[in-house]
A = this chain, B = another copy of it.
Amino acid sequence: MSSVSTFDIENYLKERRALIDRSLDRYLKESKERPKTIHKAMRYGLFSGGKRLRPILTLAAGELFGGRQKALLPFACALEMIHVYSLIHDDLPALDDDDLRRGEPANHKMFGEGIALLAGDALLTEAFHLMSRPQVARLLEPGAILELIHEISRAAGVGGMVGGQAVDLEAEGREVDVATIEYIHVLKTGALILASVRIGATIAGAAPKEMRQVTRYARLLGLAFQIADDIMDMADHAGGDGKGGKKATYPAVVGIAAAKSRARELLSQCLKEIEVFGKKADPLRGIARIIVERAL
């Protein structure tokens, strides 16, 4: 596949990441950034070296079908705000109780539990504030924007990400089977990754058949991503701090080798779904490879 070897995915990701960072910064600056402390906590969460996977998926899926960056960016950034809020809440003592996030103090370790909780609430709310701006309604049909907000709120809410976190929490410390783990993954991380891809394609006006293709790509990618993440997490905690074994994860149930082989299989299925788009799908292809292959 020469199309993959000639496309510089690292550079693509770097450029898109910078674009997302600039846009998030601009959106925040356009509000007064008051009260001060909670805004600091929101910024600390937003600008702490995330991969920007979800917003880049929105851009990449949108670009594949000729979408305009200007129309894609508010939704891409809203999806990132939702993702970041979920990380801040996830790290709280009430849930995962993690003191560190990407090697730095978690939000509640920097600002206290109360401000961290509120910063998460604020980011979630801000995502909807961003998507409903008059500036966005000048770029897209208001009715179409409502449909996007509806899809994103389903993916982020009790029928998606938050529901998955709840089931995950209840599964903690219990024996779970592979079907339950996949159910948790589909909700907890899959729903928002799926929405990220679909939102981009929808904004760009993808045809129904194309929507079905990128939807299948995103479903497979979401599952592969979570398994890859869990494999790396297990490796990180192999020293025995106990955290690697706390959660209901795929490698914990089927073993590392079987988990890797499942991730490899999902990646190849996922790439097959977008084969038809040729070189234009190089970004989507590169993203899938990078996030799965790092764990193999």
Contacts and interface: CB of A to CB of B under 8 A. Distances in A.
A35 B133 contact: no
A120 B122 CA distance: 13
B37 A170 contact: yes
B117 A94 contact: yes
Contact of A146 (B120, B121, B145, B167): B145
Nearest 4 pairs between A and B by C-beta?
A: A94-B113, A125-B157, A142-B142, A38-B166
Query: Which DSSP category, helix, strand, loop or mixed, fits chain A's interface?
Result: helix
Q: How many copies does the complex hold?
A: 2
Given A38-B163, A114-B166, 7 more contacts: A31-B159, A89-B117, A94-B94, A114-B169, A118-B169, A126-B158, A128-B149
A108 to B, nearest CB: 8
A70 interface: no
27 contacts: A31-B158, A34-B159, A34-B163, A35-B163, A35-B166, A38-B158, A38-B162, A39-B158, A42-B158, A85-B121, A89-B118, A94-B113, A94-B114, A114-B169, A118-B165, A120-B121, A122-B163, A122-B166, A124-B124, A124-B125, A125-B157, A126-B157, A128-B149, A128-B153, A133-B150, A134-B146, A134-B150
A167 B32 CA distance: 15
A241 interface: no
A166 B112 CA distance: 11
Contacts of A137: 143, 146
Interface of A: 31-32, 34-35, 37-39, 42, 85, 89, 92-95, 108, 112-118, 120-122, 124-126, 128-129, 132-134, 137, 141-143, 145-147, 149-150, 153-154, 156-159, 162-163, 165-167, 169-170, 187
Indicate the member of A93, A115, A159 with the most B CB atoms within 10 Å. A159
A154 B129 contact: yes
B146 A142 contact: yes
Contact of A143 (B142, B157, B166): B142
Contacts of A117: 89, 92, 94-95, 117
Nearest to A157: B125
Q: Which of A92, A114, A122, A156 has the most CB of B within 10 A?
A: A114
A158 B35 contact: yes
A121 B34 contact: no
A121 B122 contact: no
Contacts of A34: 159, 163
A169 B38 CA distance: 10
A213 to B, nearest CB: 25
